[in-house]
Amino acid sequence: MWTFLDKIPFGVLLAVAIFVLLAPFRPMPHVLEKFIMLKNETLTRPIDIFDFIFHLTPTVLLILKIFRNWNR
């Protein structure tokens, strides 16, 4: 997994993470909507859980890449 992560440039990963994290831009980003659902304990449908994971994955990869390069 680390070799796959090392091949992705920071700029590309940052752009994808920001875009997917904030998509759709109107009326409310899905991640924010899913966090509200998680807080209210209504995040129970499989499609909502998948959508939450889908929108957070690039951000998690970016955080992993930052920590991996920081520890080198």
Q: What is the pLDDT of residues 7-35, one digit of tens each?
A: 999 999 999 999 999 888 888 898 999 99
pTM: 0.84
Residue % of the chain over a pLDDT of 70: 99
- Rounded Cα distance between 72 and 53, Å, is 28
At which residue do the structure tokens 């939450």 appear?
Answer: 52
Residue 37: its pLDDT value, please?
Answer: 94
Residue of higher predicted confidence among 60 and 28: 60
User: How far out from the chain centre does Cα 24 lie?
Assistant: 13
Domain total of the chain:
1
Mean pLDDT, the chain, rounded, equals 91
Domain containing residue 54: 2-70
Coil/strand/helix, residue 1: coil
How large is the angle between the packed helices 46-70 and 30-39, nearest 10 degrees? 110
